[in-house]
Homo-oligomer: A and B are copies of this chain.
Amino acid sequence: MQTENYPHVVIIGGGFGGLWAARGLATAKVRISLIDRVNHHLFQPLLYQVATAGLSMPDIAAPLRHILRRQANATVLLNEVSAIDKANRRVRCVDGSELAYDFLIVASGARHAYFGHDDWAEFAPGLKTLDDALVIRRRVLTAFERAEAETDETRRAAWLNFVVIGGGPTGVELAGTLAEIARHTLRREFRRSNPAAARVLLVEAGPRVLSALPEELSAKATRQLQRLGVEVHTGKPVTAVDAQGIALGEQRIAAHTVLWAAGVAASPLGRSLDVPLDKAGRVVVEDDLSLPGNPEILVIGDLASKQQDGRPVPGVAPAAKQMGTHAARAIRQRLRGETPAAFRYSDAGSLATIGRMAAVADLGRIRLSGIVAWWFWLFIHVLFLIGFRSRLIVLINWSWSYWTYQRHARIIVGQKHAGDG
């Protein structure tokens, strides 16, 4: 193809934002370079199921270059961008290579953040990547093994106490699933310890879980969590996390397995753009998602701070996809000499799953909870998985888990038998 003189669009990040932007430019007369640190697009909403051994990695991840193989104008590069040079329109990668761009879409997302307590990271891993999920899976499964090997009752209890910090969707999902694993999945498998004696604590500093949803649904979610066996603690911040457990105000809770779902911070790339950031480190963008003063740069997804009708556009998959599609359209408009329209987030509602047959959904006028919400959640998530194969396999795996209470991916890998540090 004679595309060498086409404008070069560099996209940083192959998540929902970046991938949807690339797809939105499929028929445009541009050359696209999509750069990601990992080789796969990840269906993040189901990542907690890999962490809790319900799904395998490939069920929710597919190689970016496979997804884009038929899009001839797109090149996928496995690399990590370290800095953006606005003045010279170049991005620099960690391996020293540089890439010149005509348009830049920054979609590098967010990582979990410990709000000034980086020393907690060692004891309370967060969940953003497949590597994170394998670490959490290893720690959780190893904790039950340690409990089985432990002869001292007090020490055993510390291995059977699981603390999830953060009552957002990820925290709720993790806590609900951990309770199911302890009470059902591991039944009859241990001879000395009783997994069903495990305590699962969900700890939220704010007044309620799922604070993005209406109060009524938060209350319902709390009741569903409690029915699954989760102890919900709200209104008290965690003040310490170490190898022995956590401190919740004055109270110490002994627990060797602590998971972090309390917060995210935007990708540090935002800082190299040299524009005002919001307090979560996100880039405050123009109405059309462009960078103030640099219309050729668009910032989308979790890295973008955008207000709409007095409220922030949430950091969820549908928003990232819509922003990606908008960024692609904005570039096509600029190439035609038009002025891009303002971005508007179309909110189809919020969904959060809690565990077996338990979920809540806020669809504007309609609010669902319990088993109806759960089926709805299931349907939506299978529908949006990338690739027919994933959909089929995930459906089979879920049906299997549903009937047998089993979680097939209970495989511990990793050199260290972690949970030991």
Residues of A within 8 A of B (CB): 38-40, 56-59, 61-63, 65-66, 69-70, 75-79, 95, 97, 130-131, 134, 141-142, 145, 148-149, 188-192, 389-390, 392-393, 396-397, 400, 406, 408-415, 417
Contact = CB atoms under 8 A, between A and B. Distances in A.
A39 B78 contact: no
A190 B65 contact: yes
A288 B396 CA distance: 45
Given A79-B149, A389-B400, A396-B392, A188 B57 contact: no
A372 B131 CA distance: 40
Contact of A389 (B70, B142, B408): B408
A75 B149 contact: no
A192 B75 contact: yes
A348 to B, nearest CB: 29
Contacts of A190: 65
Contact of A39 (B75, B396, B410): B410
A343 to B, nearest CB: 30
B392 A58 contact: no
Each complex incorporates copies of this chain amounting to 2
A68 to B, nearest CB: 8
Given A39-B411, A131-B414, A65 B189 contact: yes
A413 B57 contact: yes
Given A79-B149, A149-B79, A411 B189 contact: no
A160 to B, nearest CB: 15
Given A66-B406, A76-B189, A130-B411, 6 more contacts: A56-B56, A56-B59, A62-B410, A63-B189, A65-B190, A69-B188
A412 B56 contact: no
Contacts of A188: 69-70
A90 to B, nearest CB: 17
Nearest to A131: B413
A39 B192 contact: no
A300 to B, nearest CB: 24
Contacts of A59: 56
B78 A38 contact: no
A81 to B, nearest CB: 14
B70 A409 contact: no
Contact of A130 (B39, B58, B396, B413): B413
Nearest to A38: B412
A266 to B, nearest CB: 22
Nearest to A401: B389
A367 B175 CA distance: 55
Given A77-B148, A78-B417, A411 B66 contact: no
A361 to B, nearest CB: 30
